[in-house]
Amino acid sequence: MRRSFLLWLRLALSRSRRPALAAEAPVRPPGPLVWLVPDPGGEDGHDAGANAALLLRRLQQQRPGLTLLVSMAPTMAVSLPEAVLCIDPVEDAPAAVRLALGQWRPDLVVLMGNALPPALIEGTREAGVPVMLIDAHAPGRAARRGFFARRLQRALLTRLARISVRDPESQAALVRLGADPARIEVGGILSEPPEPLHCSETERASIASITRTRPVWLAAAVPAGEVHAVLTAHAQAQRHAHRMLLILAPDQPVDGTELVNELEAMGWAAGRRTLEGEPDDEMQIFLADDPGEYGLWYRIAPVTYMGGTLSGAAGHARSPLEPAALGSAVVHGPQTAPYGADYSRLDAARAARAIYDPRSLGDALADLIAPDRAAMLAHNAWAVTSGGAGAAEAVARAILGTLDAAATGEIR
């Protein structure tokens, strides 16, 4: 393999560092060992740790008895599967890498995320240990780095035995950076499917029978400052479907009687869950004033607007994966924190509808009255929420395939 001057220089600058003596570490068991190295810097540390734990569970299920080692910062604070060996992250310096490789003698090193640690990648090459990169994503920023940074990244990518990326866009970006197209595959996004929120099936069936002939939408976790925008959108959508019912779930605990009185003073026929129990045929707005019943309303409403995303003022923002997992099409504004990554996934999969103001919210509702359009968003959203586990299965198979190929000498 051709030497890289930039890689040599980078490593030379770090050779003077001496590794700290580790506290008492577990003994390496006999047999094959896979070392997983998550990148906590690329995204929320808890997410990286949770995805690593998910992958480790899949590896254990597919290859019982395989020794799994993970280097994970204590700040990740996730529950790892039993029998997984966990160590602190190894400093990316030649001496520290040699010490770790000598102690653990891995048969395969798996980098997880976008980080390409030069000392570890070069150290494994010198030790004859293959390195695989998984869950690589959105490397566009790396592609815009300076000339020397891109040359160094190219040198590191050529040393990888196999690469698994989240999506085709990441695949194309890595090829442009110099990765071998024959070694890259799209593995999907690793994530544990969310646990669907529960509800009483008896109550769901009862309310569904009442609303079955009416268009219904849910405005979830709506802050006080967005109530007017939601009502404006509802009035606009009602021009296309005059019997449309809005289920309004406030972001904060409210005085239900006072809010219903205000709505009725505006001319709306309104009721509330804690008083009437179920909406009747005449109601235009039904106040869902019990915050523990989102699982019920997501199942009732084919469309859900995620409150707070127009103004960014949500005090108790809900995850868009909640309605997505229960078949409700997601509509959201531009203010997506703290669930920006989840909204980006849904948008990329055409599993959500982005809006920007009350008028565009009303337009989206009028469009999604058509059951087939709401169903398409809901289907795509369900695929996003359920696909992470399938991606973990596929990536685990790729890791084990690379491990087996290394054992037979097919790769080095």
Write the CATH number for 97: 3.40.50.11720
**Domain annotation covers residue 69:** yes
Q: What contacts 216, CB < 8 A, 6 or more positions away? A: 244, 245, 247, 300, 301, 302, 303
State whether 231 and 255 are in the same domain.
yes
> Residue 371: its pLDDT value, please?
85
- Considering its fold, how many domains does the chain have in total? 2
Q: Is 370 helix (H, G, I), strand (E, B) or coil?
A: coil
Confidence at residue 309, expressed as pLDDT on a 0 to 100 scale: 96
Q: How far apart are CA 342 and CA 407, in angstroms?
A: 38
End-of-domain residue from the set 169, 190, 211: 190
- What the block records as the tokens of 77 is 């604070």
> What pLDDT is recorded for position 365?
95
Structural domain of 228? 201-386
pTM over 0.75: no
Q: What is the pLDDT along the chain (412 residues), one digit of tens a residue?
A: 455 544 444 545 555 555 554 555 678 899 999 999 998 665 554 577 888 999 999 999 999 999 999 998 876 768 889 999 999 999 999 999 999 999 999 999 999 998 899 999 999 999 999 999 999 986 544 444 555 467 778 889 999 999 999 888 889 989 988 889 999 998 888 877 778 899 999 999 999 999 989 999 999 999 999 999 999 999 999 999 999 999 999 998 887 889 999 999 999 999 999 888 899 999 999 999 988 999 999 999 999 999 999 998 878 899 999 999 998 999 999 999 988 878 988 998 889 999 999 999 999 999 998 888 898 998 888 877 877 677 888 899 999 999 999 988 776 5
Q: Which domain CATH number covers 280?
A: 3.40.50.2000
Q: Determine the Cα–Cα distance for residues 379 and 296; give it in Å rounded to an integer.
A: 19
Q: Is residue 221 domain-shared with residue 175, that is, in the same domain?
A: no
Asked if residue 84 and residue 156 are part of one domain, the reply reads yes
Asked whether residue 397 is assigned to any structural domain, the reply reads: no
Same domain, 177 and 67: yes
The verdict on 346 and 287 lying in the same domain is: yes
Is 350 inside a domain boundary?
A: yes
- The DSSP symbol for 29 reads P
User: Terminus-to-terminus CA distance in the chain, angstroms?
Assistant: 11
In angstroms, the CA 50 to CA 68 distance is 16
Nearest to 294 by CA among 329, 250, 262, 343: 250
359: how many CB neighbours lie within 10 A of its CB? 13
- Does 403 reside within a domain? no
Three-state secondary structure call for residue 169 = helix
Is 365 found in the same domain as 324? yes
Q: Which residues contact 40 (CB under 8 A, 6 or more apart)?
A: 48, 49, 72, 73, 75, 76, 89
Residue ending a domain, among 190, 220, 238, is 190
Cα–Cα distance for residue pair 129/402, rounded to 1 Å: 11
- How many beta carbons lie within 10 A of that of residue 87, not counting itself? 17
Residues 143 and 277 in one domain: no
401 belongs to a structural domain = no
The reply to whether 165 falls in a domain is yes
Do 112 and 12 share a structural domain? yes
C-alpha span between 166 and 186 (Å, rounded): 6
- CA torsion sign for 340, 346, 348, 351 is negative
The pair of three-digit structure tokens given for residue 300, joined into one six-digit string: 């009732």
For residue 220, give Cα distances in angstroms to 78, 88, 224, 251.
29, 41, 12, 7
* pLDDT at res. 252: 87
Residues 222 and 146 both lie in one domain = no
pLDDT of residue 234: 96
Q: Could you tell me if 13 and 145 lie in one domain?
A: yes
d(CA 44, CA 213): 43
For residues 179 and 220, membership in a common domain is answered with no
Residue 372 resides in a domain: yes
Tokens of 263: 């709505």
Residue 402 lies in a domain: no
Q: Encoding tokens for residue 217?
A: 């939408």
pLDDT of residue 344: 85
Is 280 found in the same domain as 186? no
**pLDDT for the residue numbered 71:** 93
Convert 314-349 to b/e letters by CB count within 10 Å (16 or more is b).
Answer: beebbebbbbbbbbbbbbbbebbeebeebbebbbeb
